């Protein structure tokens, strides 16, 4: 929490990080416009918010599950509440600096990182990855099918979507069959 608070001071204002990040991005992406570099710099800064609050919520989850009587659910909610409170404190601190301002949007970005971590710690990493994988497969199957339909209607070739969409659908069907084969069948009277 002290690290997060120190990062919200004047030393890490956007112009200071730009002096380090911009030259690296310009070297890696010599074809990128100044606007693209600025956008990537902004994205890196906001990704740092998501990451630091994800780590904070995870660390609090671990701390709250050690030597306490809190359940997994209680520790998850406790970690999330602490991270949200700290995001507010962090932005209030930024509002007191000379070169930065507090932002409700940044609190939202911070909370997003903490909420993602809380989801993973709350249901467990394996289960959370299963949920995420299933969601991504559905997005690929349904979204890809919709894009193929639009492409057909507009006469645009769909290329690799003709492979990826049926593959996503096939994996979803395979997973559903695997789950139903594992579950016990109801007994008949």
Interval 3-26: pLDDT, tens:
888 777 666 767 667 778 888 888
User: What is the pLDDT averaged over residues 84-103?
Assistant: 87
Domain that holds residue 183: 124-189
Give the helix/strand (H/E) hosting 176.
helix 161-182
What are the distances in angstroms from CA 184 to CA 57, 80, 126, 180, 187? 38, 37, 22, 8, 9
97 and 159 both lie in a single domain: no
Q: 61 and 3: one domain?
A: yes
Q: Are residues 55 and 81 in the same domain?
A: yes
Is the same domain home to 104 and 154?
no
For the cut 90, the answer to whether the pLDDT of residue 137 exceeds it is yes
CA 173, 179, 182, 183 torsion-angle sign: negative
Looking at 2-143, list the stretches that DSSP marks H as alpha helix, in order from N- to C-terminal side: 2-7, 14-28, 34-65, 72-95, 104-123, 125-138
- 176 pLDDT more than 70: yes
| pLDDT (0 to 100) of residue 165 | 95
Percent with pLDDT over 70 in the chain: 93
């Amino acid at each position: 929490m002290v690290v997060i608070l120190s990062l919200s001071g004047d030393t890490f204002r956007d112009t200071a990080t730009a002096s380090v990040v911009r030259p690296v991005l310009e070297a890696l992406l010599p074809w990128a416009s100044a606007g693209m570099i600025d956008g990537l710099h902004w994205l890196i800064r906001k990704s740092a918010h998501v990451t630091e609050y994800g780590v904070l919520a995870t660390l609090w989850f671990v701390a709250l599950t050690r030597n306490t009587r809190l359940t997994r659910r209680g520790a998850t909610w406790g970690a999330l509440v602490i991270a949200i409170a700290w995001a507010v404190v962090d932005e209030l601190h930024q509002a007191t600096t000379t070169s930065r301002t507090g932002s409700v949007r940044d609190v939202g970005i911070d909370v997003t990182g903490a909420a993602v971590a809380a989801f993973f710690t709350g249901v467990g990493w394996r289960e959370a990855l299963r949920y995420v994988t299933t969601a991504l497969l559905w997005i690929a199957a349904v979204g890809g099918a919709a894009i193929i339909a639009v492409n057909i209607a507009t006469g645009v070739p769909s290329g690799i979507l003709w492979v990826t969409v049926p593959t996503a659908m096939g994996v979803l069907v395979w997973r559903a069959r695997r789950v139903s084969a594992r579950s016990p069948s109801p007994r008949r009277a």
